Amino acid sequence: MLYRILLLITVILLLQITSKAQNQLEVEVGRQIEQIKEISGTSDGLFEKLPATNDKESPVSELIGLGMDAVPHLAPYLSDDSLTQAFVRGRRDRNFKKQIAVNEYVIHAIRKITDYEFYLPSKQNDSSELEKLEQQVVSWWQENHTKTLLERKIDEVNDPVHTNRFNAYKWLGREKAKEARIVLEQRIETLLTGEVNSLKQEEMAECAKSLAEIGDADSILAVEKVCKHFYYWMYRSYRPSEEGRSGTDSGQIARLFKAYRAFANLGQKDEALSSLKEIENKYLQEMELSTQKEFLKNLTEVEKW
């Protein structure tokens, strides 16, 4: 009986401590938001980088430093479209300047904390769209805030947003995350199914690269499938014209060599070089001059793999 009473007291105390910490966090988020409204300056960055985001002592950096627990307290401010004193220049017209709203800084902080891409609606004063965004952020936080970054990145291999998928592929390869091998191989199988388009092919090549960086020989078969897929589409693109040719795109050669480099890095360099030489012998003369130059330039780099 005494044990139960002590346990109950401990639980109540922990709840009180947690509640107090959350209240303090909510107050601190609100304080930093008020300071964001005073941010000034003009970004000269080519990609419209927000002013003050690299300043370690800025309120934006302070918000990011509060970490994952701050996200549900940040979410309500996504509807705050009041203007700061900061501007960004236009990408094309450098004389054009756009004043930055508070919620643009808020979504920036949330992205940095979560390492996940959420998108502000194009019309930032659209209350219904901003409400949907807030719901999306809170829903994501509820599902993911207790997971490790590795667990989240493995989940994001199949994320609905392609930007998050690519970020996951690259992160998992860079971190040599062996736990992700099977998921990446399964993703390749999914991408090989159904219609073919350049986005799916970009994803296949990136998955192959990540598997090569992880470096497990068990991935050779999956990466070889990607290489064979690209070999086939080189055939489709440059076979005799009377048989009908598929269209090409500017990324076709880069994807081909990325996949074969992954194959080579998994210990299959001789097979990779042999296949690329076959492509050269069969299809080089059918390519446009600029494509020929790109192919041959990449081929000369193969010995360095």
Indicate whether 116 and 179 sit together in one domain. no
Pick from 101, 120, 144: which residue ends a domain? 144
First-last CA distance in the chain: 70
Q: Which residue has the tokens 């960055």?
A: 45
Query: CA 262, CA 277: separation in Å to the nearest integer?
Result: 17
Nearest Cα neighbor of 97 from 105, 106, 88 is: 88
pLDDT (average), residues 216-225? 98
Q: How confident is the model at residue 125 (pLDDT cuts 50, 70, 90)?
A: low
Q: What is residue 90's predicted lDDT score, i.e. its pLDDT?
A: 74
How much of the chain exceeds pLDDT 90, in percent? 76
With respect to residue 7, please indicate whether it lies within any of the assigned structural domains.
no
As for how many domains the chain has, the answer is: 2
Indicate whether 210 and 170 sit together in one domain. yes
Pairing of strands 97-101, 83-89: antiparallel
Q: What is the pLDDT of residues 93-109, one digit of tens each?
A: 667 788 999 999 999 99
Indicate whether 120 and 161 sit together in one domain. no
pLDDT (average), residues 114-138? 87
Query: CA 177, CA 151: separation in Å to the nearest integer?
Result: 10
Indicate whether 202 and 299 sit together in one domain. yes
* Global confidence as pTM: 0.86
Question: Exposure of 244 by Cβ count < 10 A (0-12 exposed, 13-18 middle, 19+ buried)?
Answer: exposed
Q: What is residue 10's predicted lDDT score, i.e. its pLDDT?
A: 46
Q: What CATH number corresponds to the domain at position 262?
A: 1.25.40
Pick from 111, 144, 177: which residue ends a domain? 144
Pick from 107, 124, 144: which residue ends a domain? 144
With respect to residue 6, please indicate whether it lies within any of the assigned structural domains.
no
Q: Which residue has the higher pLDDT, 82 or 10?
A: 82
With respect to residue 15, please indicate whether it lies within any of the assigned structural domains.
no
Indicate whether 268 and 157 sit together in one domain. yes
- Residue 215 structure tokens: 């470096």
Containing structural domain, residue 296: 149-304
Q: What is the pLDDT of residues 13-52, one digit of tens each?
A: 344 445 556 789 999 999 999 999 999 988 865 555 788 8
Indicate whether 119 and 200 sit together in one domain. no
Q: How confident is the model at residue 7 (pLDDT cuts 50, 70, 90)?
A: very low
With respect to residue 17, please indicate whether it lies within any of the assigned structural domains.
no
Q: What is residue 49's predicted lDDT score, i.e. its pLDDT?
A: 79
Q: What is residue 75's predicted lDDT score, i.e. its pLDDT?
A: 96
Question: Exposure of 208 by Cβ count < 10 A (0-12 exposed, 13-18 middle, 19+ buried)?
Answer: buried
Indicate whether 292 and 181 sit together in one domain. yes
Indicate whether 165 and 83 sit together in one domain. no
Indicate whether 78 and 157 sit together in one domain. no
With respect to residue 30, please indicate whether it lies within any of the assigned structural domains.
yes
The packing angle between helices 162-174 and 149-156, to 10°, is: 130
With respect to residue 256, please indicate whether it lies within any of the assigned structural domains.
yes
Q: Is the pLDDT of residue 210 over 50?
A: yes
Helix (H) or strand (E) holding 275: helix 269-283
Nearest Cα neighbor of 50 from 113, 107, 1 is: 107
Indicate whether 136 and 188 sit together in one domain. no
With respect to residue 138, please indicate whether it lies within any of the assigned structural domains.
yes
With respect to residue 159, please indicate whether it lies within any of the assigned structural domains.
yes
Q: What is the pLDDT of residues 236-270, one digit of tens each?
A: 999 998 899 998 999 999 999 999 999 999 999 99
Query: CA 305, CA 301: separation in Å to the nearest integer?
Result: 7
